[in-house]
Amino acid sequence: MKEITRRDFIKITSAGIVGAAISKPIFGFIPPFLKKDHNPPLESELIKTPTVCDICFWKCAGWVWKDKKGNIVKITGNELDPHSNGRLCPRGTGGLGAYYDPDRLKRPLIRVGKPGSQTFKEATWEEAFDYIVEKMKQIEQKYGRESMALFYHGTTGPHFEYLWEAYGSQTYAEPAIAQCLVTREVGFIATYGQGLGSPEPTDVRNTKCLVLIGNHIGENMHNGHVQDMSHAIDHGATVITVDPRFSTAAAHSKYWLPIKPGTDIALLLSWMHVLIYDNLYNKEYVDKYTYGFDYLKDHVKRFTPEWASTITTLDPNLIRKTAYEMAKAAPSVVIHPGRHTAWYGDDTQRERAIAILNALLGAWGKRGGFYFSEKVSLPHYPHPPFPEPRWSWRTITTDKYKYAISGVTNVLIDHSLPEYEGPYKVKGWFVVATNLIQSIPDQEKTIRALQNQDLVVVVDILPTEITGYADVILPEATYLERYDLLRNSRHRVPNIALRMPAVEPKYDTKPGWWIARELGIRLGLEKYYPWKNIEEVLDWQLRQVGSSLEELKKVGVKHFERKTPLYIPDGYEWPFPTNTGKIELYSTDLAAMGYEPMPVYKKHEEPPAGYYRLIYGRVPMHSFGRTTNNPYLHELRPENHLWVHPKVAKLLGLENGQEVWLENQDGKVSSYSVKVRVTERIRPDSVFLPHGFGQKSKQLRKAYARGILDNELITNVKIDPITGSTGMRSNFVKILTQKPNK
Ligand code: SF4
């Protein structure tokens, strides 16, 4: 593999949306400040209020600027914010499209037709709450409070998790955890005794060598990380990208390893082999801080680069050479743990392998490796003790997935199906800001579970597909129109950021905290809501740490003193919160639970003849289906394309821009078509489809039927036996050139 010339990395804009190239009306709608005769006002004429961006989970703090008429004119980054360093990504600046989107849900709706029919009547909030409370009481009488399940996502989620705790149900799950982070967190907990959190404390800014394995910084636009990677490249860092696709990150890497999908653990084991048997590992660090080195040495003895080459299809010299590059940079090296880490069903073990490799290089707790992030110790607003439910997500999860650290959506769905006969039935769904039909694999199962519920409530901003299955839809105000809980995330500098409303909620929408509180009071839970509005809660919390709501309204972000070191001081004895007090190369926890104590490579399914592995991912201007209907971001990328290798294109007679359909290994055919993009940037055994397109809700007028939604083709799900997370990369598609008969 030839080395790749380094180029400039993607730039993050610091400009607002004013003056952006939005040329034509979107469904006849143009916000006043984008009209041709509009003269953008000076900043001195604008009013600014602090916010925390809600367009993705990176949660950058910023400023919302509005004119004297109350029109929001732009959003910019907050200079004090360590998540954004004062610069928002293009999606963040386009965030006001969420506020101006004419397709927003506008008032409460109650279903009058059959499930899925999307026939609703408009209702008042009183009517909607009355309906919900009556149904919840019926479910409680028949099955118990625990049978009301909550699925939630994002910053609205905690308001409802609190309500559920107060109500007496711990039947809840945050779908993104089991699909994205849990395998990574558990892989690192089993090794270091602690997880990573968000943003992950990778010291990319100071690193000399960054290794990305199926991790698409630049396409995933995690703001601070993109900036850090750009900075590291500018300062001479070596980037090694392992990916079946020549991604944006690969284009800025010294080495691209176009690995055969599903074989990453083989590569990781052979890198360990080279580090140990070529004596390249950090001996002093390993001797001082780790447990189980001799076991590991023995375990990886036969995993030579030549062995890995036969599995990964990578050149053994390239495997060896990249291991030497890492060792040369150590301890200033990051083998990045990634973000969406549920792939093939053995994902905790792959993350374990990544954690172990970092330990062999001495990167954990070292500059240019991993730093120790810290957050402010912010007390919760006092409340009476929560009732203890008779059963919870733990009851139905941890027997099977012993290392599950939170509720698993799939498990809750299994307990919601009509064929479930056991004692832990789920009979009501409360779905907050997550479109489960599109985010959870095996759509048919999700829909069957939905249709078996006595009550389905959806809280959302947009009429996403799942709203069509709701009995009641509650329209939430956008992040620009509401307060939320304080952002108190871990970082180099402990800091707190405030989101407050820049404008009044449009239409008859309400903030999530208000919806949760009002429902709580109607359910008889007044004692858990002694405060009248959330400002009281925020001010009380801030005063406990020497600040106030008044102060945060002025600065948006406040920094606090660290209490612990950022890195392990040289020569220092560092206790790790594991069973042995050391970094566990051999995991005593996993061994005790009956799992492999060290990662093992297992062969995964291969595409049948005529099929290609379906690789999904993202594009930098969208946060999946969350933004494909955003008027501004939609203009930047209205639909997805299917990446196809030229050899495949030749074999099938495909041309650039040709319309095709996809059928998966189980005969599931895509609802819509997608245009082909012929490119050498993908292996011939795979195709690539960005996620979030092909929306099926007609009410999303811009995103409806634009491209193919990968999720409807993901019917083969590989469950990680340690955490229960859902691997979705073992699905294969054939390419259809004729419109299929439905
Ligand atoms: S990375 Fe972009 S979209 Fe995500 S929170 Fe930051 S500015 Fe918003």
Range name among 117-126, 199-208, 375-384, 426-435 with the lowest pLDDT average:
117-126
CATH T-level topology, domain 105-174+407-476+511-529: Rossmann fold (3.40.50)
* Dihedral Cα 617, 622, 626, 628, nearest 10 deg: -100
Residue range 147-160: mean pLDDT, rounded: 96
Question: What is the distance between the terminal CA atoms of the chain, rounded to a whole angstrom?
Answer: 45
What is the spatial distance between Cα 480 and Cα 511, in angstroms, rounded to a whole number? 10
Q: Are 144 and 303 in contact (CB under 8 A)?
A: no
Per the listing, tokens 């799939």 go with 410
CA 78 to ligand 1 centroid distance, Å: 12
pLDDT of residue 218: 82
User: CB-based burial of residue 113 (10 Å sphere; 0-12 exposed, 13-18 middle, 19+ buried)?
Assistant: exposed
Q: What six digits make up the tokens of 680?
A: 């050498």
- The SS3 of residue 649 is helix
Confidence band, pLDDT 50/70/90 cuts, at residue 113: low
Look at residue 29 and tell me whether its pLDDT is greater than 70.
no
pLDDT of residue 211: 98
Verify whether ligand 1 is closer than 6 Å to residue 57 (CB atom): no
Q: What six digits make up the tokens of 171?
A: 């039947």
Q: What does 500-541 look like in DSSP terms, one character per residue?
A: --SSPPSTT-B-HHHHHHHHHHHTT-GGG--SSSHHHHHHHH
Confidence band, pLDDT 50/70/90 cuts, at residue 118: low
CA 54 to ligand 1 centroid distance, Å: 7
CA 539 to ligand 1 centroid distance, Å: 26
CATH of domain 612-715: 2.40.40.20
For 583-619, the three-class secondary structure string (H helix, E strand, C coil) is EECCCHHHHHCCCCCCCCCCCCCCCCCCCEEEEEECC
Q: What six digits make up the tokens of 82?
A: 């360590």
- The SS3 of residue 396 is coil
pLDDT of residue 45: 84
Q: Looking at ligand 1, which residue's alpha carbon is closest to its atom 8?
A: 92
Which of 56, 75, 93, 96 for a ligand 1 pocket mutation test, highest count of atoms within 8 Å of Cβ? 56
Verify whether ligand 1 is closer than 6 Å to residue 61 (CB atom): no
What is the spatial distance between Cα 592 and Cα 280, in angstroms, rounded to a whole number? 31
CA 134 to ligand 1 centroid distance, Å: 39
What is this structure's pTM?
0.93
CA 574 to ligand 1 centroid distance, Å: 35
CATH T-level topology, domain 1-100+480-510+531-567: N-terminal domain of TfIIb (2.20.25)
Q: Are 51 and 64 in contact (CB under 8 A)?
A: yes
Q: Kindly report the backbone phi and psi dihedral angles of residue 285, in degrees, each rounded to the nearest multiple of 5, phi listed first.
A: -65, -45
Kindly provide the b/e burial profile for residues 129-152, where b requires at least 16 CB atoms within 10 angstroms of the residue's own CB.
Answer: bebbeebbeebbeebbbbbbbbbb
CA 321 to ligand 1 centroid distance, Å: 36
User: CB-based burial of residue 559 (10 Å sphere; 0-12 exposed, 13-18 middle, 19+ buried)?
Assistant: middle
pLDDT of residue 12: 32
Verify whether ligand 1 is closer than 6 Å to residue 91 (CB atom): yes
Verify whether ligand 1 is closer than 6 Å to residue 286 (CB atom): no
Q: Looking at ligand 1, which residue's alpha carbon is closest to its atom 4?
A: 56
Q: Are 213 and 207 in contact (CB under 8 A)?
A: no
Instruction: Name every residue whose Cβ is closer than 8 Å to that of residue 422 and which is 6 or more positions away in sequence.
Output: 415
Q: What six digits make up the tokens of 576?
A: 């790790």
The ligand 1 atom at the shortest distance from the C-alpha of residue 62 is 7
Verify whether ligand 1 is closer than 6 Å to residue 53 (CB atom): yes
pLDDT of residue 43: 78
Superfamily of domain 190-370: Dimethylsulfoxide Reductase, domain 2 (3.40.228.10)
Q: What six digits make up the tokens of 365?
A: 């707790």
CA 84 to ligand 1 centroid distance, Å: 8
Look at residue 415 and tell me whether its pLDDT is greater than 50.
yes
> Distance between alpha carbon 277 and the CA centroid of its chain, in Å?
37
Question: Domain residues of the chain, as ranges?
Answer: 1-100+480-510+531-567, 105-174+407-476+511-529, 190-370, 612-715
- The SS3 of residue 210 is strand
Verify whether ligand 1 is closer than 6 Å to residue 59 (CB atom): yes
CA 445 to ligand 1 centroid distance, Å: 32
Q: Tens of pLDDT along 242-264?
A: 999 999 999 999 999 999 999 99
Verify whether ligand 1 is closer than 6 Å to residue 92 (CB atom): yes
Q: Tens of pLDDT along 456-490?
A: 999 999 999 999 899 999 999 999 999 999 999 89
CA 65 to ligand 1 centroid distance, Å: 17
Among 18, 21, 26, which Cα is nearest to 630's?
Answer: 26
- Give alpha helix (H) positions in 29-181: 90-93, 96-100, 125-143, 157-167, 175-176
CA 110 to ligand 1 centroid distance, Å: 33
Put the strands of the sheet holding 47-52 in their side by side order. 47-52, 61-66, 72-77
- The SS3 of residue 109 is strand
Within 13 Å and on the Cβ side, how many CA atoms surround 536? 9
Q: Tens of pLDDT along 332-341?
A: 999 999 999 9
Q: Tens of pLDDT along 211-245?
A: 999 888 888 878 998 999 999 999 999 999 999 99
CA 679 to ligand 1 centroid distance, Å: 29
Look at residue 180 and tell me whether its pLDDT is greater than 90.
no
Neighbours of 192 (CB within 10 A): 22
Verify whether ligand 1 is closer than 6 Å to residue 217 (CB atom): no
Q: Tens of pLDDT along 685-733?
A: 999 999 999 999 999 999 999 999 999 999 999 999 999 999 999 999 9
How much of the chain is helix, strand and coil, in % rounded to 5? 30, 15, 50
Neighbours of 729 (CB within 10 A): 22
Verify whether ligand 1 is closer than 6 Å to residue 618 (CB atom): no
Look at residue 15 and tell me whether its pLDDT is greater than 50.
no
Residue type, 567: Y
Verify whether ligand 1 is closer than 6 Å to residue 98 (CB atom): no
Verify whether ligand 1 is closer than 6 Å to residue 96 (CB atom): no
CA 39 to ligand 1 centroid distance, Å: 27
Same fold, 1-100+480-510+531-567 and 612-715: no
Instruction: Name every residue whose Cβ is closer than 8 Å to that of residue 234 and which is 6 or more positions away in sequence.
Output: none
Neighbours of 337 (CB within 10 A): 24
Verify whether ligand 1 is closer than 6 Å to residue 668 (CB atom): no
> In Å, what is the CA distance from 131 to each residue of 136, 161, 389?
9, 21, 24
Q: Are 157 and 433 in contact (CB under 8 A)?
A: yes
Among 247, 213, 219, 254, which Cα is nearest to 233's?
Answer: 254
- Look over the chain and give the mean of its residue pLDDT values, rounded to a whole number: 92
Q: Tens of pLDDT along 601-655?
A: 999 999 999 999 999 998 988 988 889 999 999 999 999 999 999 999 999 999 9
Q: Tens of pLDDT along 487-527?
A: 998 999 999 999 999 999 999 999 999 999 999 999 999 99
The ligand 1 atom at the shortest distance from the C-alpha of residue 88 is 7
**Angle (deg, nearest 10), helices 347-360 and 264-277:** 20
Q: Are 163 and 459 in contact (CB under 8 A)?
A: no
What is the spatial distance between Cα 256 and Cα 259, in angstroms, rounded to a whole number? 9
pLDDT of residue 38: 63
What is the spatial distance between Cα 268 and Cα 355, in angstroms, rounded to a whole number? 10
Q: Are 161 and 441 in contact (CB under 8 A)?
A: no
Q: Looking at ligand 1, which residue's alpha carbon is closest to its atom 1?
A: 223
pLDDT of residue 233: 95
Which of 87, 88, 216, 222 for a ligand 1 pocket mutation test, highest count of atoms within 8 Å of Cβ? 88
Verify whether ligand 1 is closer than 6 Å to residue 260 (CB atom): no
pLDDT of residue 722: 97
Q: How many residues comprise the chain?
A: 742
* CA-based R_g, the chain, Å: 25
CA 55 to ligand 1 centroid distance, Å: 6
- The SS3 of residue 420 is coil
Taking CA 533 as the corner, what is the angle to CA 527 and CA 538, rounded to the nearest 5 degrees? 100
Verify whether ligand 1 is closer than 6 Å to residue 626 (CB atom): no
pLDDT of residue 117: 59
